[in-house]
Amino acid sequence: MSRRRPPRVCLVLCPGWSFWTPALGPALLKPFLKSRGYAVETLDLGPLFLKQAPSDVAQAGILPLTLSLRDGRFVAAWLLRAGRTTDEAVRRILQKDPDVVGFTAYATTWHMSALLAERLKREKPGLSIVFGGPEATRLFDLEGAPMKGQRDLAAIDAVVPGEGELALLELLDRWSEGRFAPCAGAYVKRDGRFVQAGALPGVPDLDALPFPDFGQVDFADYGGKGLLTTYFNRGCYKKCVFCDVESFWGGWRTRSGARVAEEVEYLAGRHPGLRGFLIGDPLVNANMKELGAFCREVRDRREAGRLPEFSWQGYAVVRPDMTREVIGQLRESGCEELWFGIESGSQRVVNAMKKGYRVPVAEDNLRECCRAGIRTLVLLMAGFPTETPEDFEQTLEFVRRNAANISRISAIGPVYMDNQSPMHRQAQDYRIDPDRFHMMFWRTRDGKNDFEERIRRMVALRRCAEQEGVPIEMHDTDDSLRVYRRWQEAGSGA
């Protein structure tokens, strides 16, 4: 009896994940699957499409393009206009002669991934298509029912929600003659429906995973910044009600600081021109003990001549033990910017969000970072369901009081409800009107907090930041209102 041939795998990423660094997910899956005997290639289509994008797309700017990539009509029109580029993308994938093509799906990459999957199925009908990533996790509700239309799912044979290594390995182990068999950790299509045979736990020991394989990176394809991504943790120990991170990581786990430093040294040796790292965690300072160990390891390896100078940046949580001494150690290790999810200047709203910090501590953290020479990005929200006009005014006052210690603000868009977040699952507790229960365009039962009101608060926040001389990143509010009014005109919950 002949032995089953392992499927050849190509992991594909469409444009929209990041414009400054190659994605970490495929780079982690590749060496893990190769260590289990699978032939794996990765392909980042971002540089191909962005280099050959139509002029109006290329000149749109990062934030407008990121928003547009979430619009299926925009993406379909782009692929049609970029016919030769689309042909080249398909050719590059099929040139690797895969049996299985895996797409990493984010909100910004979903539509292009789905359309390319359809094209690949036409070109090679026996090809197996699997989707993973955060948007794949959001694809199903808590009962396992698909949250997208059948057209979006037509070319997809399997979906890996959550952490990828063990589930994708299980799926590939059960692949035979162009078909996936139902298995734990994945949804597999059977007779037009997706079925799952139970969940799988995450990788218990993150230190045991191989280092990421980014291939031959041309940093010029990513803005010339010389950045790669690494991580300290998976999951998050915080319980913010608007966040769905917990739904796809299945528990918080951390790597040792020594292992992260070892990986940084390894990647620095493999990639000439590397100048820094993005830490891809929800919270780089979730485990203060291991973060301190990382700082000491970096210092020792530099003193021994094993590690060049590099910078790093990442998300951080407000904590009282982020003292002047600790923040000084972060700066010494190369930290140049921390991104704080402060979200509101109102303690009442912070408590309702279950952020778990005191507003004065946030101000202390910002002040000490500024003193140490670490830039600060402050993430703010406008229009949390229980936020009153008085609460919002406290956010504006927070910006005014702390402007000297805020390098920039990110308030990309109004508060929205991810379908796996506690706020979405318990919407009645947050006064959401059941007749206007929409991820983006929800309103409160009293009608006082609707999308237009949230946009008004966004505009006020932008005006406040500009008056204080603080740069602010925000989607075009006029564009957002146009999308909202089209949605109303279509009769969707008006």
Average of pLDDT values for 403-409?
A: 98
Task: Write the CB contacts of 54 (distance below 8 Å, at least 6 apart in sequence).
Answer: 78, 81, 82
143 or 435, higher pLDDT: 435
Distance CA 278, CA 135 (A): 21
83-102 confidence digits (pLDDT tens): 899 999 999 999 999 999 99
Average of pLDDT values for 49-68?
A: 70
Average of pLDDT values for 106-122?
A: 93
The values of phi and psi at residue 104, to 5°, are -85, 115
233-292 confidence digits (pLDDT tens): 998 888 899 988 877 787 899 999 999 999 999 999 999 999 999 999 889 999 999 999
| pLDDT tops 60 at residue 143 | no
Distance CA 401, CA 468 (A): 10
| pLDDT tops 60 at residue 142 | no
Average of pLDDT values for 71-93?
A: 89
The values of phi and psi at residue 291, to 5°, are -65, -40
Cα angle vertex 482, ends 66, 423, to 5°? 65
| pLDDT tops 90 at residue 493 | no
Confidence of residue 16 (pLDDT cuts 50, 70, 90): confident
Count, in order, helices (H) and strands (E) of the chain.
20, 18
| pLDDT tops 50 at residue 2 | no
The residue whose two tokens read 């528990």 is 251
Alpha carbon of 202 to those of 34, 81, 248, 402: distances in Å?
Answer: 19, 41, 10, 40
* Mean pLDDT over the full length of the chain: 90
Which of these ranges, 296-310, 423-437, 459-473, has the smallest mean pLDDT?
423-437
**Which helix (H) or strand (E) covers residue 114, if one does?**
helix 110-123
Nearest C-alpha neighbor of 314 from the set 288, 279, 340 = 279
Alpha-carbon dihedral angle through residues 396, 401, 402, 408, given to the nearest 10 degrees: 40
**Helix locations, 129-207, DSSP H:** 134-137, 150-153, 165-173
Nearest C-alpha neighbor of 249 from the set 341, 167, 145 = 167
pLDDT of the residue at 150: 47
Q: At what angle do helices 288-303 and 324-333 cross, to 10 degrees?
A: 40
Task: Determine how β-strand 187-190 pairs with β-strand 158-160.
Answer: antiparallel
> Percent of the chain, pLDDT > 90?
67
- Contact status, residue 61 vs residue 68, Cβ threshold 8 Å: no
Q: Of how many residues is the chain composed?
A: 494
pTM of the model as a whole: 0.91
pLDDT of the residue at 199: 82
Nearest C-alpha neighbor of 457 from the set 383, 397, 394 = 383
| Rg of the chain (C-alpha set) | 23
Distance CA 486, CA 493 (A): 12
Token pair recorded at residue 428:
């009645």
147-157 confidence digits (pLDDT tens): 555 456 889 99
Alpha carbon of 244 to those of 250, 340, 418, 419, 434: distances in Å?
Answer: 11, 18, 6, 8, 20
- State CA 215 to chain mean position distance: 21
pLDDT of the residue at 339: 97
pLDDT of the residue at 484: 85
pLDDT of the residue at 494: 39
